[in-house]
Amino acid sequence: MLKTFFIISIFLYSSLCANILQDAIDNAPEGSILKLPAGIYKGKIIITKPITIIGKEDGVVIDGEGEGTVITIKSSYVTLKNLRITGSGDRHDKLDAAISMANGKQCEISNCIIDDSLFGIDMQMISNSIITNNTITSKDIDLGLRGDGLRLWYSNDNIIRKNKLIKSRDMVIWYSHGNLIEENYGEHCRYSLHFMYAGKNIVKNNHYKFNSVGIFFMYSKDTIATGNSVQSSLGATGMGIGLKDVSNFTLKNNSVIYCAQGLYIDRSPFEPDTNNWIIGNQLLYNAEAIHFHSLSENNIIKNNTIMGNIEDVVNDSRGAKTNENDIESNYWDNYAGFDRDGDNLGDTPHRVYQYADQLWIYNPDVKFFYGSPVISLLNFLAKLAPFTKPIFLFEDAKPKVRIEG
């Protein structure tokens, strides 16, 4: 930890023409602590030295006045606490943000409110830092035009904990490794959490609802996601958790409920001779519990609860090889077998077929009627007396008969 050499309290008012906060930062020795009383301070602040800025009471506002980035950090060992940071510019090409951090380590942003800012916190090549207990909201514009609430780019070994992203766009973890993303909350965003080319991250006990997509992993490996809750991903393609071209992943004890697609698996695991472990998750009351797209084999899918979904399994690719996954000891609420020896495992396998679903899976025009009485009737009749040969997807050799716990 950097030793604190100097403590300074400042009493400023935005009515003054000069940017006195910037002057105070420039004149303070390295390691100073600036304690700000309530007031509005001019933004477009640039920090190039180790320093701490704390709002010592409520009502400390740093306002960018709608132009550029409000606070730019170009140093290690910088701490911002108990501030409201607002009013960035609106230019995507310049990544106008509330806070922009680059090429630093051991920084902390905590207990801040960020609003009316295109991007929230933009981290580029930041390591061993803490982002905690911040509330982040973008500008009041269309979802696709907002910036990312929290953005990690080539940023490793950080702790991202207990932040709230509400009406932002995405939280993105790109080319970033070894991060802990824990106990965050996302609501009315696009991707509440999006990974790309990222490895060895831990995603734990986050809660996301009313977003377009809950958690999406792309081109990544060696990550654990456990204890997360994704609810009510919005729209006809709203997704709970997605895996695309990922390897050596563990999804354990997550809950996905009321989504169009609960778990989406696309060409995963991607690397040869690897597995993904999908263990102990709850996939409840979704339109589709598990959706396979493209070649997806060697997943280990065990001890999950699949209940209340319109379709348990959907395969939209004829070459997905769903039967080459290790699927065992899951609870399926539509299992039709018995448990005569009372060991909570079915006496016969649970075999999953695709019936009249072929009508809408391969034809987007027909999918418009998905969930309607006519498709439900066709599915029922097809299972009762198939008029086309059903497609075998896979079997669970030891299905659970009761939900344990």
- What pLDDT is stored for residue 295 in this prediction? 86
Structure tokens at 305: 């609860």
The yes or no reply on domain 1-169 and CATH 2.160.20.10 is yes
- What pLDDT is stored for residue 359 in this prediction? 52
- What pLDDT is stored for residue 294 in this prediction? 87
> What is d(CA 294, CA 242) in angstroms, rounded to the nearest whole number?
13
- The CA distances from residue 264 to 111, 255, 256, 290, in Å, are 35, 14, 11, 6
- What pLDDT is stored for residue 319 in this prediction? 72
Contact 104, 126 (CB under 8 A): yes
Contact 34, 52 (CB under 8 A): yes
Q: What is the CA radius of gyration of the chain?
A: 25
Cis amide prior to 269 (ω within 30 degrees): yes
The structure's pTM equals 0.88
Cis amide prior to 272 (ω within 30 degrees): no
Half-sphere exposure of 404 (CA within 13 A, CB side): 12
Contacts of 8 (CB under 8 A, 6+ apart): 24, 28, 32, 33, 34, 35
Distance of CA 50 to the CA centre of its chain: 31
Q: pLDDT 10s per residue in the chain (405 long)?
A: 334 434 444 444 444 446 899 999 999 999 999 999 999 999 999 999 999 999 999 999 999 999 999 999 999 999 999 999 999 999 999 999 999 999 999 999 999 999 999 999 999 999 999 999 999 999 999 998 999 999 999 999 999 999 999 999 999 999 999 999 999 999 999 999 999 999 999 999 999 999 999 999 999 999 999 999 999 998 878 999 999 999 999 999 999 999 999 999 999 999 999 999 999 999 999 999 999 998 889 999 999 999 999 889 988 877 778 999 999 999 999 999 999 999 999 999 999 987 654 555 545 565 555 556 655 555 655 555 555 677 788 999 999 999 876
- What pLDDT is stored for residue 237 in this prediction? 80
